[in-house]
């Protein structure tokens, strides 16, 4: 079982899931960067929120780390590219706080429109200032939504109930989709010039950092009020403060800042600015969802299963029809690498039948994972398998065909020397190897297997069985292929333990044996 280091407050409901699965949950809050380097050395999992910085130095200080889980959406504090290079999976909980973030955006919108925090502060300090804190209605005003992702879409949906006119900037959303949402798409400059309120819903990256700047704000009308509950740094905060001070725009409401925690800012001195300390995800419901989601992602990662919220796995989510094939794809990769005696120079992956009509990228990753798991000593995962292929010069070719002659769906892996094919069968979707080097067979993948190709003459099974028995090894199952056109036959044998290399060599040296190869097909526990 894995040791999972938790460095920030996570909902107990999620941590309990990890404990129930038998993992060691080690809670170490408030670690300094130096202390983190020491604690991470033996951790296989790391769960964080936004404060812990997972840097190159942190990732270089451990060889055991397999997965970093961010209980939330943003990953500004994780060096994702370097984690990918190291084969460390990075997962987040992208849907855990979308409702909370959308609702907080609306709370900021209303607070900014009606000066609620300012009026509250004045009243509790003994000042009855009705005329000073006069606000504006939302009805009939133009709301500009910058980013129509999940949160932006929820905000837009709720703003319609206030009778607002919605415009949006999002280059990845079609006109047709926007129209169905009741939103008019336009360019960013046009939106800034048109809107009475603007709400930001973008990730922070090179393209969005400083996106709302002095030049853009200069195009706004004086009634504009800006809301940001997404990521700090998207707005140039100094430029925003200047624009409010000189009357270029009317005000702002911010939940996020360029650096956090933020306790001093020129924005804090302005009466038309509403601020909260990054509370967008701070609801009981969102924290519970984030804790449960991140625990579920780590459990899948440690089990070697598909992890839907892995941000650095270059594949779409496996469909319900293709997901059962992940295991056989990885087993076939291990099998082929064992047969090839290491890493092949070319890997051909062919999909036949209905499975070929799905997105097969994750299945190919599974096959690559199997190949590298058997052919190299490098740590390998869905994360770094494509990078390893590129670095090692492994050419990957993928072909698909909607029809399959002998099976409903079939996956075939080929190197220059060998071929292996597999499928799943029955109601339970059990994996089967069904062809090896042109010979039809049917046998479940096993941890220890032996493949023997021989002249199709009597006595060969007996010779092979005798040598296996002399090594004190039991045969679990066996498939013998009929002769094919070249007069050879094939045996694929499952063994209860690893066969010594000298026994394999003894079989290979027997007259009439074309080759004998020990094969690993499943993960060795």
Per-residue pLDDT of the chain (525 residues; tens, 9 = 90+): 899 999 999 999 999 999 999 999 999 999 999 999 999 999 999 999 988 999 999 999 999 999 999 998 888 899 999 998 888 999 999 889 999 999 999 999 999 999 999 999 999 999 999 999 999 999 999 999 999 999 999 999 999 999 999 999 999 999 999 999 999 999 999 999 999 999 999 988 889 999 999 999 999 999 999 999 999 999 999 999 999 999 999 999 999 999 989 999 999 999 999 999 999 999 999 999 999 999 999 999 888 777 888 888 865 555 667 788 989 999 999 999 999 988 898 999 999 999 998 888 889 988 998 998 887 776 677 787 887 888 888 999 999 999 988 899 999 999 999 999 999 998 888 999 999 999 999 999 999 999 999 999 999 999 999 999 999 999 999 999 977 678 899 999 999 999 999 999 999 999 999 999 999 887 654
Cis-peptide into 261, omega within 30 deg: yes
In CATH terms, 323-520 corresponds, of 3.30.1330.90, 3.40.50.1360, 1.10.357.10, 3.40.190.80, to: 3.30.1330.90
Catalytic residue selected from 49, 165, 201, 231 = 231
pLDDT at 379: 65
pLDDT at 213: 97
DSSP state of 409: S
Both tokens assigned to 485: 């056109």
Q: Is 502 a catalytic residue?
A: no
The full set of domain ranges for the chain reads: 3-96+285-302, 98-275, 323-520
According to CATH, what is the number of the domain 98-275?
A: 3.40.50.720
Phi, psi of 134 (to 5 degrees): -60, 135
pLDDT at 525: 44
- The strands making up 3-6's β-sheet, listed across from edge to edge, are 24-27, 3-6, 45-48, 67-70, 89-92
Phi, psi of 505 (to 5 degrees): -65, -40
Mean pLDDT score of the chain:
92
Residues sharing a CB contact under 8 Å with residue 99, sequence separation 6 or more, in sequence order: 154, 285, 286
**Residues belonging to the chain:** 525
According to CATH, what is the number of the domain 3-96+285-302?
A: 3.40.50.720
| Burial readout 366-382 (b: 16 or more C-beta within 10 A, e: otherwise) | bbbbbbbbbbeeebbbb
Own/partner pairs, 53-62, CB within 8 angstroms, 24+ separation: 53/77, 54/78, 54/79, 54/83, 55/79, 56/82, 58/33, 59/83, 59/86, 59/88, 60/86, 61/37
Catalytic residue selected from 23, 225, 278, 414 = 278
Burial class (CB in 10 A: 0-12, 13-18, 19+), 461: middle
Q: Are 354 and 322 in contact (CB under 8 A)?
A: no
Q: Are 306 and 323 in contact (CB under 8 A)?
A: yes
Give the start-end residues of each E strand in 260-345.
273-275
Q: Is 398 a catalytic residue?
A: no
Catalytic residue selected from 260, 269, 285, 497 = 260
H-helix or E-strand spanning residue 418 = none
| Burial readout 56-72 (b: 16 or more C-beta within 10 A, e: otherwise) | eebbeebeebbbbbbbb
Q: Do domains 98-275 and 323-520 have the same CATH topology?
A: no
Phi, psi of 44 (to 5 degrees): -100, -20
Give the start-end residues of each E strand in 124-188.
142-146, 165-169, 183-185
Q: Is 231 a catalytic residue?
A: yes
pLDDT digits (tens, 9 = 90+) for 394-427: 999 999 999 988 899 999 999 999 999 999 998 8
Cα 465 from Cα 493, distance rounded (Å): 10
């Amino acid at each position: 079982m894995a040791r999972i280091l938790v460095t920030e407050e996570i909902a107990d409901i999620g941590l309990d899931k990890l404990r129930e699965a038998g993992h060691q949950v080690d809670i170490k809050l408030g670690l300094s960067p130096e202390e983190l380097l020491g604690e991470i050395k033996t951790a296989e999992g790391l769960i964080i929120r936004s404060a812990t910085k997972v840097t190159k130095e942190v990732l270089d200080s451990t060889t055991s780390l397999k997965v970093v889980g961010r209980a939330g959406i943003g990953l500004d504090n994780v060096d994702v590219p370097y984690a990918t290079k190291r084969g460390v999976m990075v997962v987040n909980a992208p849907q855990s706080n979308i409702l909370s973030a959308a609702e907080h955006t609306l709370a900021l919108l209303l607070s900014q429109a009606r000066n609620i925090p300012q009026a509250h502060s004045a009243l509790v300090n003994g000042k009855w200032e009705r005329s000073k804190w006069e606000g504006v209605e939302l009805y009939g005003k133009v709301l500009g939504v910058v980013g129509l992702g999940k949160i932006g879409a929820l905000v837009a949906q709720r703003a319609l109930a206030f009778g607002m006119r919605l415009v949006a900037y999002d280059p990845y959303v079609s006109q047709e989709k926007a129209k169905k949402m009741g939103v008019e798409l336009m360019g960013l400059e046009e939106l800034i010039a048109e809107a009475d309120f603007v709400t930001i819903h973008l990730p922070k990256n090179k393209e969005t950092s400083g996106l709302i700047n002095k030049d853009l704000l200069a195009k706004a009308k004086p009634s504009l009020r800006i809301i940001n509950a997404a990521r700090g740094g998207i707005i140039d905060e100094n430029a925003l403060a200047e624009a409010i001070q000189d009357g270029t725009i009317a005000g702002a409401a911010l939940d996020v800042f360029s650096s956090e925690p933020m306790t001093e800012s020129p924005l804090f001195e302005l009466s038309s600015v509403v601020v909260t300390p990054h509370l967008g995800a701070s609801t009981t419901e969102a924290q519970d969802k984030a804790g449960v989601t991140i625990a579920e992602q780590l459990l899948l990662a440690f089990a070697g299963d598909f992890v839907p919220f892995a941000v650095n796995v270059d594949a779409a989510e496996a469909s319900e029809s293709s997901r059962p094939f992940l295991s056989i794809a990885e087993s076939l990769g291990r099998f082929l690498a064992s047969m090839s005696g290491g890493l092949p120079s070319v890997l051909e992956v062919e999909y036949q039948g209905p499975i070929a009509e799905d997105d097969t990228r994750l299945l190919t990753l599974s096959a690559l994972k199997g190949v590298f798991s058997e052919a190299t000593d490098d740590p390998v995962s869905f994360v770094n398998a494509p990078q390893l292929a590129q670095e090692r010069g492994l050419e990957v070719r993928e072909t698909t065909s909607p029809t399959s002659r002998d099976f409903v769906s079939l996956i075939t892996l080929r190197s220059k020397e060998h071929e292996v094919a597999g499928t799943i069968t029955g109601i339970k979707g059990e994996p089967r190897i069904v062809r090896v080097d042109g010979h039809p067979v049917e046998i479940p993948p096993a941890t220890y297997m032996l493949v023997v190709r021989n002249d199709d003459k009597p006595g060969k099974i007996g010779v092979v069985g005798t040598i296996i028995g002399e090594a004190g090894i039991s045969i679990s199952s066996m498939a013998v292929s009929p002769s094919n056109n070249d007069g050879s036959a094939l045996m694929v044998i499952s063994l209860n333990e690893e066969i010594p290399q000298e026994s394999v060599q003894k079989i290979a040296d027997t007259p009439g044996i074309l080759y004998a190869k020990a094969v690993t097909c499943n993960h060795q526990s």
